[in-house]
Chains A and B, each alone.
Chain A
Amino acid sequence: MTENKFKYIGRERRTKEDKRFVIGAGNYVADIARPGCLHLAVVRSPHPCARIAAIRTEKALALPGVHYVLTGAELEEYTKPLQQYLDTPNVRWYSLAVERTRYAGEWVAAVVADSRYIAEDAVELIEVDYEPLPFIIDPEAALLPEAVAVHPKHGSNVIYRRTFSWGPVAEDFSKADHTLAFRTRWHRSATVPLETFGVISEWGPGQDILEVWASIQMPQYVEQIAAALKMPQNNIRVHYDVDVGGSYGVKRGIKHTVMVCYLAKKLGRPVRFIEDRLDNMSGGDMHGPDRSFDMKVAFDKSGRINSLKIRVLDDVGAYPGRSPLQLGKPIGAIVGAYRIGSVEYEAISVTTNKTGQVAVRGFGQSPTNVALETAIDRVAAYLDLDRLEVRRRNFIRPEDFPYLIPSGTTYDSGNYPAVLDKALNLADYERMLVRRDELRASGVAAGIGIATCLEPSGGNSAFEGLLNPSNESTTFLEAVMVKVDRNGTVTVIINTTTSGQGHETLVSLIVGEELEREPDQIRVVHSDSLNGLWTHSPVGSRMAIMMGGAAAGAAKKLKRDLLRIAAHNLGVAEDELAYDSGTISVAKDSTRKLSWEQLVIIAHRQYQKMPAGMEPALQSTFVLEVPSGGNLPTPDGRIQMYPCHSFQAHVALVSIDMGTGKPTILDYSIAHDCGTVINPHIVRGMIYGGAAHGIGAAFYERFAYDEGGQLLSQTFMDYLLPSVHEVPEIRQTEHCTPSPLTSHGQKGVGEGGYLGAPAAMASAVNDALAPHGKTLDTLPMRIRDIWECLNLA
């Protein structure tokens, strides 16, 4: 491993956040008590599609403690529809169903009462007359011209459809030695945080400010509240100091928020809505991608892949919102880690009568990576080559960087063969092969899973303009402020909520590194949306790059100010000075110096000693744009998606009980390269945790609907979350190829575990099934599915 040249960055240090959580002092939204707060509960539609003929609320309103019942009709009158990211003006989405319901579980009315208990009693007293209508559940059927349209005025269920073609696809296919085709299916699942979504709002009439506390992780949250409520944005204050109990992409409760804000203002009382688990799973619009991939691969006899044709159909449920864009992000790594010269990508997004899809860790890339990695394994099997060898032959080589992929993104840096080797070493691959074969000989099925994944990081909005040409916004910034007070202590202000990523640790380490001040002494606070600066929130594995980069920028500016003050007072030019832990001395005469404390006194209290024209005090702000920001797509759909590209290799051994089909992960090793590691504990946690999510998606988690449009997995008894029994003690090791684009060479790491694990598990199961002549390309690979492969002809 390369020598760590940093003092604080990359060192094994405790995080700043953990202590408050281990004593139970987190500040989650449900912990916030506002005096006089009312509680909300929702009425859920039992029908996947029905006209709402009448809603009778008298009995509910007569119940003591009930204050109000809100319906979609009232919301439609007073609020604007929630934002759609594509040009689909006839898709109108409100917090509550308007005129018709579009999925079983959709919220039809909301009751506000003195307690959640009373609100739930009142929900049972509300009578809704439904006239059931035809509905559509199957995404392939939803595509057909005769299909019932979820939004009749939109005219069809197709929300997005475009075929991109990058490079000479037809030629590459016609010249190829071989081609093969297969289909993979990724069923609906999501990251399902342990904390449901919650929001509290309060209208302060004296100040005309709408206060919002929410369990949120969402770009443009405040501006969308303002738009929906037709309110100036500076009348809304979102408090970013709320701890979020997990999100991994999904905490985008804009529909919950608009309804709660509307009621808080209307009733003049604080209102809170904390979803219960049923609200969350059935109607929270928090399901993830639901896709099938039809893959065609063109390759030569050595296993070099020339071209890919990908057709992906994604079922976004009833209200698309931002989710169709999840077909866009994979374009930024459409060839994964491989030198594939041309790609055709047909992306189709359809509506069905299911709860809406939302952003999930990786923003659509994990299902895509399963399809890609399956392609590699299939080519190897077809040619009877080793799967590792096929990967090595196709890898983008270390000397190829910066590397331009056909869809227009340049990968910044990487060393894929080295990372794969590290994973194999960690796994003791030769020994693992022996163990697999011993297991097979002893009568169990066993397989080794191998997968790699690209993790584009740095998060911008490039896919917005790519999928919606009328959207020309490219700015996706992050801002940080650093200030030094009159006593010389440092405070950093960040402008977003945190859901476990350790932002306080991140910026304290980076500011500490730049200013050479002890990070533990640096205070990091979360602003609110009025008193802070700007953010696009922690999406797309961007905070190490963006918040870290902005923190570095602000600290550097502050250091420049200190040098300027010192130069003025020591009577030398700035480049003759040396900076050491906040003390600035003349480089050639270290006896002439000013301490941190002295510089602070000058800046804050002794204006007479300040350089002419310089602002007093010590503070700086830095607003960072994504390093690759500011570009729009070409007409043929090429674009620089994200700036930085992390990489992981996963190797796992899985055994399967022949009698039950139950898989057990016996060994799991991951090697990763996210450039410079800022805090090793946090990086490791992201990798283990992401992989655990991936294990869930691979084997257990599925939001299943029956033919009648009813969601079958509404509780944790049906939607299975991996426990410590299902997740093995994963091992990890790192490699560092710094990014040339970031402040300290860091790249993102929040998603890679989740991008690699499902592909690795699919690879392991298919390796186990291979001797039985079977393949299984549907995730989750349920125990029964695996059993059928092993036991049915």
Chain B
Amino acid sequence: MSNHDIKIKVNGVVRTGTVSARTTLADFLREDCRLTGTHIGCEHGICGACSVEYDGQPVRSCLMYAVQADGHEVTTVEGLSDKDGKLSALQDAFCDTHALQCGFCTPAMLISAQSLLNETLKPTDEQIREALSANICRCTGYVQIFQAVRLAAERLRSGKEKVAS
């Protein structure tokens, strides 16, 4: 298996590494960058637990090779809060509505929902459903996740982002 030197901007920081051609992007992020917030649930593209933002769009990092991301930009859950650790409005809303239980799907759920909010702060229920349908959650039944996305959108719209505790 050939090895490749790659350079990926992850959460604003340039990461370099030498990876085998078959190393998935998920494994590179988790094992080489030690960004373990990106989770692996199926490795065949269904569950969405491995979703990261890739050049601004959510993708399945289990279905991409790390070499494919060479020269691109990736945001993982670790890149969602600001540098001082202040939670994003969405993360904060997830805590307010308890939009999680075991937390395993949560990082990727946040990635999917955030990319929706990046497009619109007035998402319809159908748009929320469409965005969240990329991710399976086995714990919550999705209700409180729905509520969190609506709450975050509303707070962002009114500029009344709650200060994270």
Interface residues of chain A, those whose CB is within 8 Å of chain B, are 14-15, 17-26, 28, 30-31, 33, 117, 191-196, 243-248, 276-277, 499-502, 681-682, 684-693, 715-717, 721, 723-725, 727, 729-730, 753
Contact = CB atoms under 8 A, between A and B. Distances in A.
A716 B49 CA distance: 13
Contact of A22 (B35, B87, B102, B143): B87
Interface string B92-132: 00111111111111110010000000000000000001001
21 contacts: A18-B99, A21-B106, A22-B95, A23-B78, A26-B103, A30-B39, A31-B36, A33-B34, A194-B49, A194-B102, A196-B41, A499-B101, A688-B143, A692-B140, A693-B138, A716-B47, A716-B136, A723-B136, A724-B142, A727-B141, A729-B142
B139 interface: yes
B32 to A, nearest CB: 11
Interface in B11-51: 20, 22-23, 30, 34-44, 46-47, 49
Given A23-B78, A716-B47, A681 B104 contact: no
B61 interface: no
Contact of B101 (A22, A689, A724): A689
Contacts of B139: 246, 500, 685, 689
Nearest to A683: B98
A690 B87 CA distance: 29
Contacts of B107: 21-22, 24
B116 to A, nearest CB: 12
B95 A14 contact: yes
B141 A688 contact: yes
Contacts of A31: 30, 36
Given A23-B87, A246-B139, A195 B39 contact: yes
A716 B85 CA distance: 35
Nearest to B137: A194
A583 B137 CA distance: 45
A762 to B, nearest CB: 18
B10 interface: no
Contacts of A26: 37, 103-104
Contact of A30 (B40, B44, B95, B142): B40
Give the interface SS of chain A, mostly helix, strand, loop or mixed.
Answer: loop
Interface centre among A20, A22, A31, A117 (most CB of B within 10 A): A22
A277 B41 CA distance: 7
B142 A692 contact: yes
Contact of B98 (A117, A685, A716): A685
A17 B97 CA distance: 13
B151 interface: no
A362 to B, nearest CB: 15
Contacts of A243: 102-103
Nearest to B88: A22
Contacts of B146: 724, 729
Interface centre among A245, A684, A688, A717 (most CB of B within 10 A): A245
Given A17-B103, A21-B106, A685-B140, 19 more contacts: A18-B98, A18-B99, A22-B110, A23-B81, A24-B78, A28-B36, A28-B104, A30-B30, A30-B39, A245-B103, A246-B101, A500-B101, A688-B143, A688-B144, A692-B140, A716-B47, A716-B136, A724-B129, A724-B145
Interface string B134-159: 01111111111110000000000000
A501 B101 contact: yes
A24 B102 contact: no
Contacts of A276: 43
Contacts of A693: 138
Contacts of B20: 117
Given A23-B91, A685-B144, A723-B133, A191 B106 contact: no
A17 B136 CA distance: 20
A472 to B, nearest CB: 35
Contacts of B137: 194, 689
B138 A24 contact: no
B126 to A, nearest CB: 11
